[in-house]
A and B are shown apart, each in its own frame.
Chain A
Amino acid sequence: MTELVWITLALPLVGVALFAIFGNKLPSRGAGLLASLIMLAAFFAAAAAFILLANEPEGHRQVSQTAWTWLSAGDFRVGFDIWYDELTALMLLIVTGVGFLIHVFSIGYMKGDTQERRFFAYMNMFVFSMLVLVVSGNLVELLIGWGLVGLSSYLLIGFWHHKTSAVKAAKKAFIMNAIGDVGLAVGIFLLFVDLGTVSYSGVFASADKLSETQASIACLLLLVGALAKSAQIPLHTWLPDAMEGPTPVSALIHAATMVTAGVYLIARMNPLFFYAPKVLDLIVIIGVIGLLMAGAIAIVQTDIKRIIAFSTMSQIAYMFVGVGLSAYWAGIFHLLTHAFFKALLFMGAGLVIHALNGEQDTRNMGGLRKLMPKTYFCFVIGGLALTGIFPFSGGFSKDAILSAGLHVDSTIGWIAYVGGLVGALMTGIYTFRLIFLVFHRRMSPYAEKVAPPLIKHHGEGPRSMLWPVYILSIGAAFLGLLQIPGLTHVMSSWLEPISPHGMVEATAGQDWLTTLIGSLVGVIGIIIAAHLYLHESDAPERIRLGRGRLIAHALERRCYWDNLYEWMFERPVQWAASFLNRDVDATAFRWLPTDGVGTITAFFGRSVVVLQNGIVRSYALVFAVGIAGFLLYLLVRGT
């Protein structure tokens, strides 16, 4: 079993190595095929390992192995470990499976780009980094994976480096993630100081020795890392900008895998978070605020990918609520279904963008339903799953999170429940606003000009782009059946062993009630969206300029977070710099003669230049005399 995990881990690395070594010798078209085949092989290895693990008796589904030791000092030891249990197995399947489909999609999407090989090399590198992150058996290795996914994300967001906006977005993502990395690293240091170990097994075994304060501080620091990586308040501002990257990147990194790493981290470290209940409550509150804010912002966005990006942020906030309520399985379940339906939506958006020759503004779309029926169908499935309409996958997973709030029955639980339902209403509105804007209504002049000839010529897209979308649609539609309340409980029982202190799981009655209310709220959202956006009307614009103008302004400016950071960090530095330049430098040194500072430096320089006579023997003499003098001193001083 462990061999298969190692193979899964090694395959993408082999891919990167092949691209790095052979580079230009590989045919451009073959690059995508090669990368996809590697991903397929990795998926098969992961699936085989998963089956082997599932065949183990329950309670024995955890293996770990060390390839080599990096550093050891006394009892402390850090190595390159794998830790393969139920959670890792599931994450490996998601990363390699969805990763494979997105690689295939990329073959069609990136066709004609001059730098396909670089793209696929980065993609394989990302998958490798993500695998390191999820299979690691200790926190140091996790941090390495954590940093590597950040790097891959940076490289892929800035893939089209001739676009200034893409480069800026890449830098922003990298810096925000660096803040999170620091938090995570300091958290790991703290755990090492408190517990003397950084391996999962060591931390889990001795977590009960921590006082609540110690555990809370450590968990808070880990949470900083999780917030940055998963684009949650207050470190979320990079995610919408990250949409500057190619669409498959958005699907793979900024929807399905990397941004959910924060959820994975909290679920993985749950034995530690158990001792920090206040931090768990904080996670729920951050999640609720985040899902409401991101959902509301998504309603007013006009860029097709930004709408989906804010939706991603909102859905990850749901996952945070889930893990914060100690319903770890529900958070991971939503992670799984979200990987499918959000990758599906991104790839659907990719098809639309492809058919419109790179256009991303929804105002230049409309009426594409008749031209792109297959895309439309899949997109609606993804939309229904996202909205959480019964019986699509998102419904089951989101309702599992919400009913956990109902089950907990505390203030926090009720905040999560009500907030989550309001969020579900918003989800319905923004999702179907997007669908109506893109596929219904009258076709915009731009789309009318560009789309028909392209589609007549190419169809909705090459087969390599359509098939992944079909497969994801099946997943988005039916994955929820893994966990039908009262009937099946694949997810909750599979993930149950990862939490030694038990997980929150609602009763079937609470689940069904939530499903009913959730679907109802979702449908109401769809009706509101239909009322406002299904046909051209001036109602949305009236609201925007009328009674809702303050809210609309705030939402269009993304609730001023970017402005806040600009005023907090960018402006003070600029002020300080211009103050030093204009006032300090120009006035304080005015009394010196021209080049005053320079003259002083030059004087000192000239006075020591005589030592530099260029004769090597004299240097050697000084050297020898110096050492002899030092030894003499030691001799005289004794000891």
Chain B
Amino acid sequence: MSVGIPSFLIVSAILFTIGLIGVLLRRSPLTILLSLEVMLNSVNLTLVAFSRQVGGSDGQVFALVVMGIAAAEVVVGLGLVVAMTRRAMVLDTDELRTLNG
């Protein structure tokens, strides 16, 4: 009846990799934020899966905390995107490189 833990881990690993590739390859800040969400949620999936296996609720609590922090992070990220749009800046992370050495 139940799906084994390896399946969850495989799905989670696939999601994580998709997210990572998204972060590394895409140049639009919005897409990068989306990819980050995917990565975070893949980790959440692992947490919940292990939590089910162990039987405690710690992992689920962790997952909730991760969601909370992810929400906060998105607020900051989107705020930056909005600010950049207002100043009519290019939404391309490779162009935003004033912090180079």
Contact = CB atoms under 8 A, between A and B. Distances in A.
A617 B100 contact: no
B24 A617 contact: yes
A615 B100 CA distance: 8
B52 interface: no
A25 to B, nearest CB: 35
Residue from A609, A615, A624 with most neighbouring chain B CB atoms (10 Å): A615
Nearest to B100: A614
Contact of B93 (A612, A616, A621, A624): A616
B21 to A, nearest CB: 10
Contacts of B23: 617, 620
A613 B24 contact: no
Interface string A584-626: 0000000000000000000000000111111111001100100
Interface string A85-98: 00000000000000
B87 interface: no
B20 interface: yes
B101 A612 contact: yes
Contacts of A611: 101
Contacts of B100: 612-615
Contacts of B20: 624
A490 to B, nearest CB: 59
A610 to B, nearest CB: 7
Interface string B79-101: 00000000000000110111111
Contacts of A613: 97, 100-101
Interface residues of A, number: 12
Contacts of B96: 614, 616
A609 B99 CA distance: 11
Interface of A is mostly: helix
B93 A617 contact: yes
Nearest to B23: A620
B24 A614 contact: no
A621 B94 contact: no
A610 B93 contact: no
Given A615-B93, A617-B94, A624-B20, A610 B101 contact: yes
A617 B32 CA distance: 10
B27 A614 contact: no
Contacts of B98: 614
A620 B24 CA distance: 7
Contacts of B25: 617
Residue from A610, A614, A624 with most neighbouring chain B CB atoms (10 Å): A614
A549 to B, nearest CB: 72
A461 B64 CA distance: 67
Residue from A610, A611, A616 with most neighbouring chain B CB atoms (10 Å): A616
A624 B36 CA distance: 13
A615 B97 contact: yes
A617 B27 contact: yes
Contacts of B24: 617, 620-621, 624
A613 B97 CA distance: 7
A611 B23 CA distance: 19
B7 to A, nearest CB: 21
A398 B98 CA distance: 76
Interface string B39-53: 000000000000000
B94 A615 contact: yes
Contacts of A615: 93-94, 97, 100
Interface of B: 20, 23-25, 27, 93-94, 96-101
20 contacts: A609-B101, A610-B101, A612-B100, A612-B101, A613-B97, A613-B101, A614-B96, A614-B97, A614-B99, A614-B100, A615-B93, A615-B97, A616-B93, A616-B96, A617-B23, A617-B24, A617-B25, A617-B27, A617-B94, A620-B24
Given A612-B101, A613-B101, A617-B25, 20 more contacts: A609-B101, A612-B100, A613-B97, A613-B100, A614-B97, A614-B98, A614-B99, A614-B100, A615-B93, A615-B97, A615-B100, A616-B96, A617-B23, A617-B24, A617-B27, A617-B93, A617-B94, A620-B24, A621-B24, A624-B20
Interface of A: 609-617, 620-621, 624
The 4 closest A-B pairs by CB, nearest first: A614-B100, A614-B97, A612-B101, A609-B101
